[in-house]
Amino acid sequence: MTRVVAQGTFDILHPGHVHYLQDAADMGDELHVIVARSVNVTHKQPPVVPDEQRREMVGALKPVDEAHLGHPEDIFVPIERIEPDIIALGYDQHHDDEQLEAALSARGLDCDICRASPLEAEAADRLLSTGRIIDRIVDERS
């Protein structure tokens, strides 16, 4: 059995998230998703939706076998517990693959790192990012 881990913020769910998680699920037999805690989201605006609610929503998606909240201090703790064969990154996630491989190796974790494919926007108005969704809400509701 091939166990895959995907991870992300998953603030406001959109088709890009579903595509990423389906791609990740297709890489193996079992998909675990680690939902980042708000305190650990430092590379962009903090999430609007609370941690547990985001975990619950991700866990309800068909491709996901189990959704976990990330560790508040050490992002590798859930990965050590899950022991994946593959870590599936989103095609545009900010992680540096080589740095991630080195950090995993330093912790004795042996797994492959793969990138999901991008989801092409079929229409110019298709919203494939949380930031674009928020911007649209602000523009239309202000």
Tell whether 9 is in a known binding site.
yes
43 annotated among ligand-binding-site residues: no
Using only C-alpha atoms, what is the Rg of the chain? 15
CB 130 within 8 A of CB 14: yes
Location of structure tokens 């609370």: 50
Q: Is 70 annotated as a binding residue?
A: no
For β-strands 86-89 and 112-115, DSSP reports them as parallel
Give the 3-state secondary structure of residue 46. Answer: coil
Residues 142 and 138: their CA atoms lie apart, in Å, by: 6
76 is in an annotated binding site: no
- Give the contacts of 126 (CB within 8 A, at least 6 positions apart): 15
Is residue 112 marked as binding? no
Q: Please give the angle made by the CA atoms of 107, 85 and 23, to the nearest 5 degrees.
A: 125
Is 78 annotated in some ligand binding site? no
Q: Is 14 annotated as a binding residue?
A: yes
Give the residue numbers of the binding site for ATP.
9-10, 14-17, 92
Give the residue numbers of the binding site.
9-10, 14-17, 92
